[in-house]
Amino acid sequence: MEFHLNLIMQTLADFLLPMARVSGVFMIMAGLGTRNVPMRIRVLLIVSLTFMIMPVIPPVPNPELMSFRMVLQVMQQVTIGFAIGFMTLIFINTFIVAGQVLATQSGLAFASMVDPASGISVPAIGQFYLILATLLFFIFDGHLITIQMLVMSFDTLPIVDAWWSVLQIWAIIEFSGWMFATALSITLAPIIAMLVVNLSFGIMTRAAPQLNIFAIGFPITMLSGLLILWLTLDTFLIHYGIQWQMTLDYTCRVIGC
């Protein structure tokens, strides 16, 4: 049996270039791109998904594996994959930022722990929001929708020399700004409630200067922060749904669907 060189080059290009885009997604994707997931598991997922999508995407035109053009195409596919995975990462970081803001306002920022996903120390409330958002991400099939977006990107952004427009790049930057706006909307009610608590302590200090406000106010502020966190937790799912729908909209703008 003989295999022509052109057939071998075409098969390798049809496998390596889609795998580069899939690798970019799985290296940074929320939930699956963290340090908790072993590298062998991610490699297995990347290779398996690449084999599944190879028959449904058009072949690579004019493959030249031993050329500088192929290097640029690989970098292009990895960048597109990073962009799709980065959108889910911004989505998850929205709730981390909200937890950090809430922890700072309630005096619980000193209770920190190491985030296994990033390796840095974050407040415990931020880690709680991260775990809750990640569980909802998998419960509502966020990983499957991201993979579906990835497969759709091969139709809207085929493996050719074409590149993104300025509007598609601006969509990523604009969605990054929405991360802080959404985090503020999540913590707006707790921040106002903590402001009322601090204002009441100020009135108490003005009325009775003999009170040791630091000995009394600090534990009450922490307890109030935990109580407010518990009372406002039922709105977490509402903010999650709004932010996830916005993530899908901006991802569609990035890949051009």
Over residues 62-90, the pLDDT tens digits come to 777 777 888 888 888 888 888 888 888 88
The values of phi and psi at residue 39, to 5°, are -65, -35
The domain ranges of the chain are 5-255
- Coil/strand/helix, residue 112: strand
Is pLDDT at 252 greater than 60 in this prediction? yes
Report the C-alpha gap between 35 and 82 in whole angstroms: 16
Model pTM above 0.85: no
- Which is more confident, 147 or 119? 147
Amino acid 81 reads G
Listed range (116-125, 184-193, 244-253) with the worst mean pLDDT: 116-125
Tell me the percentage of the chain whose pLDDT exceeds 90: 0
112-114 vs 121-123, strand pairing mode: antiparallel
What digits encode the pLDDT tens for the residues 22-60? Answer: 988 888 888 787 777 788 888 888 888 888 888 888 887
In this predicted structure, the answer to whether residue 138 has a pLDDT above a threshold of 70 is yes
pLDDT at 216 over 70: no
